[in-house]
């Protein structure tokens, strides 16, 4: 009797113990379980590739199997490779166009939409947004028709004003400009929205105080609006830079990097080296060099536009 009772008591206590352990500790254990599906995938497909790519950049050879250690050879070759230099130059030209033409233009549009004179704010915001949600492939296909030298919409339009047809995609001097124009068309909407979000964050009382102090509109703009837009400016410029370096589908589908590398962008070059020539080591080196360039540019921007948003 006592034995049975003791057994029952023992069983009960072990059952309660394991139950209690889980109940007591589940709050500590739960977060690990919650993040594990995410983190397992993230470690395999996110973190490991970053490290492996770095290692790859020091090897050379065709494909992933026959690899020989090459030290800094890939990087040295990179700086002497004319295609690489052209790719960097093209991409940088494109980035400058994005930062210095597209972003201010978007700011003007945002100011216009935000002003008292415009009532249909929602309509304009939506109307400018369509290119953002279409894939770059679709955009490239549409604009292959628009930018065609002989039958394209754009040259036909210019023809109505007696302007001779321009080789948008065939002239080495013009092709990057065409891509910049295409980028302006594509990203005006979302940049305008970024600026609008920033403008909405500015307290109207600043303007009232300024006008009481006798400031006119230009002064209000330069001394209140622009300084208070600094965080948004930082964001917009960094987004423009990152987006510029990712330019891939349009040059691939419109000109395949041509004519004679005039529209070769750095991502397209990585793709060519990595997936057409299978110089995976070299492709990784190029990709890492791009990371460094972006990092440097971002740091420069942080110095220019960073810092806390204090009252002016």
Partner 1 sequence: MADINLVTSDAEQANTTLSQRKRFSPYKVRFWTNSAVLNIVLIGLVLLTVIPFIYMIASAFKHNSEIFGTPITFFPAQPTLENMQALLTQFPFARWALNTAVVAVIGTATAVLLGSLAGFAFAKYNFRFKNILFIIMLTTLLIPYQVTIVPQFEIIRVLHWFNTYQALIVPRAVTAFGIFLMRQYTMTVPDELLDAARVDGSSEFGIWWRIVLPLVRPGLAVLGILSFTGLWNDFIWPLVVTTDPSMFVMNVGISSLVGPYDYQYGILLSGAALASLPVIIMFLFFQRQFLEGLTQGAVK
Q: How many CA atoms lie within 13 A of 254 on its CB side?
A: 34
Q: Please tell me the distance from the alpha carbon of residue 73 to that of residue 59, in angstroms, as a whole number.
A: 8
Q: What is the 3-state secondary structure (H, E, C) of 185-248?
A: HHHHHHHHHHHHHHHHCCCHHHHHHHHHCCCCHHHHHHHHHHHHCHHHHHHHHHHHHHHHHCCC
Beta bridge partners of 69: 59
- 17 binds partner 1, rule: CB under 8 A: no
Q: Is 68 helix (H, G, I), strand (E, B) or coil?
A: strand
**Pick 8 or 123: Cβ nearer partner 1:** 123
Phi, psi of 209 (to 5 degrees): -60, -40
Residue from 3, 82, 117, 308 binding partner 1 (CB under 8 A): 117
- Residues 125-184 binding partner 1 (CB under 8 A) are 125-138, 140-146, 151, 153, 156
Binding footprint of partner 1, residue count (CB under 8 A): 112
- Residues 251-310 binding partner 1 (CB under 8 A) are 252-253, 266-267, 270-271, 274-275, 280, 283-284, 286-288, 290-291, 294-295, 298
Residue from 26, 69, 277, 300 binding partner 1 (CB under 8 A): 26
Q: How many residues does the chain have?
A: 312
Neighbours of 170 (CB within 10 A): 17
Residue from 93, 167, 246, 259 binding partner 1 (CB under 8 A): 246
Nearest distance in Å: CB 77, partner 1: 17
- 39 binds partner 1, rule: CB under 8 A: yes
Q: Please tell me the distance from the alpha carbon of residue 144 to that of residue 123, in angstroms, as a whole number.
A: 28
Nearest distance in Å: CB 6, partner 1: 31
Residue from 35, 72, 76, 302 binding partner 1 (CB under 8 A): 35
Contact 254, 144 (CB under 8 A): yes
Q: Is 13 helix (H, G, I), strand (E, B) or coil?
A: helix
CB-based contacts of 200, cutoff 8 Å, min separation 6 = 114
- 31 binds partner 1, rule: CB under 8 A: yes
- Residues 93-112 binding partner 1 (CB under 8 A) are 109, 111-112
Nearest distance in Å: CB 162, partner 1: 16
**Pick 7 or 134: Cβ nearer partner 1:** 134
- 66 binds partner 1, rule: CB under 8 A: no
CB-based contacts of 273, cutoff 8 Å, min separation 6 = 279, 282, 283, 286
Residue from 104, 201, 306, 307 binding partner 1 (CB under 8 A): 201
Stretch that binds partner 1, among 83-91, 94-102, 248-256, 303-311 (CB under 8 A): 248-256
Phi, psi of 262 (to 5 degrees): -70, -20
Nearest distance in Å: CB 163, partner 1: 16
- 58 binds partner 1, rule: CB under 8 A: no
């Amino acid at each position: 009797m006592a034995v049975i009772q003791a057994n029952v008591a023992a069983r009960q206590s072990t059952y309660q113990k394991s139950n209690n352990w889980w109940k007591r500790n589940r709050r500590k254990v739960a977060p690990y379980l919650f993040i594990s599906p995410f983190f397992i995938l993230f470690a395999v497909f996110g973190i490991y590739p970053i490290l492996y790519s770095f290692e790859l950049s020091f090897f050379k050879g065709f494909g992933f199997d026959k690899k020989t250690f090459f030290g800094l050879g890939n990087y040295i070759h990179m700086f002497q490779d004319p295609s690489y230099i052209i790719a960097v130059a093209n991409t940088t030209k494109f980035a400058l166009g994005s930062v210095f033409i597209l972003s201010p233009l978007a700011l003007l549009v945002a100011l216009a939409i935000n002003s008292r004179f415009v009532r249909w704010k929602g309509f304009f915001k939506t109307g400018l947004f369509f290119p953002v949600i279409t894939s770059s492939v679709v955009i490239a296909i549409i604009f292959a028709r628009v930018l065609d030298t002989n039958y394209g919409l754009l040259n036909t339009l210019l023809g109505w004003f007696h302007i001779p047809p321009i080789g948008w995609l065939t002239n080495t001097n013009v092709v990057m400009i065409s891509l910049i124009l295409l980028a302006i068309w594509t990203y005006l909407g979302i940049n305008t929205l970024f600026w609008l979000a920033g403008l909405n964050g500015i307290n109207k009382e600043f303007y009232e105080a300024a006008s009481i102090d006798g400031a006119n509109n230009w002064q209000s703009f330069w001394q209140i609006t622009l300084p208070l837009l600094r965080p948004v400016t930082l964001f917009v410029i960094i987004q423009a830079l990152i987006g510029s370096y990712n330019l891939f589908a349009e040059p691939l589908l419109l000109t395949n990097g041509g004519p004679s590398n005039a529209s070769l962008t750095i991502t397209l070059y990585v793709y060519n080296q990595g997936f057409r020539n299978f110089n995976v080591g070299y492709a990784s080196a190029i990709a890492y060099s791009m990371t460094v360039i972006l990092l440097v540019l971002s740091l420069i921007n942080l110095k220019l536009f960073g810092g806390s948003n204090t009252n002016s």
